[in-house]
Amino acid sequence: DAKTTQPTSMDCAEGRAANLPCNHSTISGNEYVYWYRQIHSQGPQYIIHGLKNNETNEMASLIITEDRKSSTLILPHATLRDTAVYYCIVRVARGSQGNLIFGKGTKLSVKP
């Protein structure tokens, strides 16, 4: 699985959009981009994933560049409850057992 690079930490004002970048320049054609987050003292939680098209669900939007070497997770209206460590993971979606390879992630602090 390809490696990812994320900033160590970011701050965001409550109510504003939080844009979390991720670089994955060695991503392979059959690898998807996944985002999980981990709120303090909880297990990681799935947010969203995509291959090459932009994706949106009730939690967030995922923007993947055309060359697929980077992506951005967008939380449109961040709340204090969104304070967490966000992990960007690239993985093969089919034909693998599916264990996740986490990096250190980005610690997002949403401030009032």
Partner 1 sequence: GAGVSQSPRYKVAKRGQDVALRCDPISGHVSLFWYQQALGQGPEFLTYFQNEAQLDKSGLPSDRFFAERPEGSVSTLKIQRTQQEDSAVYLCASSLGGGGYEQFFGPGTRLTVL
Position among 105, 108, 111, 112 found at the interface with partner 1 (CB under 8 A): 105
Q: Does 46 bind partner 1 (CB under 8 A)?
A: yes
Angle at 36 between CA 21 and CA 77, to 5 degrees: 60
- Contact present, 1 and 20 (Cβ < 8 Å): no
C-beta of 5 vs 45, nearer to partner 1? 45
If one counts every other C-beta atom within 10 angstroms of the C-beta of residue 32, the result is 17
Position among 23, 32, 55, 63 found at the interface with partner 1 (CB under 8 A): 32
One-letter amino acid of 36:
Y
C-beta of 53 vs 97, nearer to partner 1? 97
Q: Does 103 bind partner 1 (CB under 8 A)?
A: yes
DSSP 8-state code for residue 94: S
Q: Is 112 helix (H, G, I), strand (E, B) or coil?
A: coil
What is the smallest separation between the CB atom of 81 and partner 1, expressed in angstroms?
17
- Contact present, 57 and 28 (Cβ < 8 Å): no
User: Between residue 48 and residue 77, which ones bind partner 1 under the rule CB under 8 A?
Assistant: 49
- Contacting residues toward partner 1, per CB under 8 A: 32, 34, 41-46, 49, 85, 87, 91-105
